[in-house]
Chain A
């Protein structure tokens, strides 16, 4: 079946531009996560949605980062006034959050390069 998809796969932005990254989770998955993976590092948690509710945004690095999931399916991560330190791969994951499994299914990521 279809997995998690993300678009665009690659994005180059000039410093100061705004970008929007899209995530289509697996159909029926109520939970959605965003992670940031810097070069040579493991992914780091950014934010979490259950349906349309953003229950945790503690990992967002600054107020330039904003995420939404208005209808409880597709999600968009928006970065305003991009900076060079925002260059990273942004990963989206979705999950059913069954008790004792917590398995998250990851998309291929969007590689953002800020020049």
Chain B
């Protein structure tokens, strides 16, 4: 079974300061991990993905995440927040087990607010 825990339901930062959104996962097999962003009234958009290649993954809009197997973590970071980063962020796992390698399991989400 696979699961995801997003450690913060809400993170608030000031514009120009670093962003850290924390995610821990549980998976029986070698997982694929993703971060999706959801802006109000918009579809979920893929920020970045880890699929057993490089452990430091770079995504769109300056975001990156590091896969740490020993810590079962996949935290999302950005050096400098922009007002347009305000949105809901979801950490997602797919463990490719038992043939259901398409099934995505989402965390509960972290709401990021960016203050001017």
Contact = CB atoms under 8 A, between A and B. Distances in A.
Interface residues of B, number: 25
Contacts of A44: 106
Interface string A72-110: 000000000000000000010101010011111111110
Interface string B51-73: 11000000000000000000000
Interface residues of A, number: 27
B43 A106 contact: yes
If over half of A's interface residues share one DSSP class (helix, strand or loop), that class is named, otherwise mixed; here it is: loop
B27 interface: no
Contact of A109 (B4, B43, B100): B43
A102 B46 contact: no
Interface of A: 3-4, 31, 33, 35, 40-45, 48, 56, 91, 93, 95, 97, 100-109
29 contacts: A31-B102, A33-B102, A40-B109, A41-B109, A42-B4, A42-B90, A42-B109, A44-B106, A45-B103, A45-B104, A48-B102, A91-B43, A91-B44, A95-B102, A97-B102, A100-B32, A100-B51, A101-B49, A101-B51, A102-B51, A102-B94, A102-B104, A103-B46, A103-B49, A104-B104, A106-B36, A106-B43, A106-B44, A106-B45
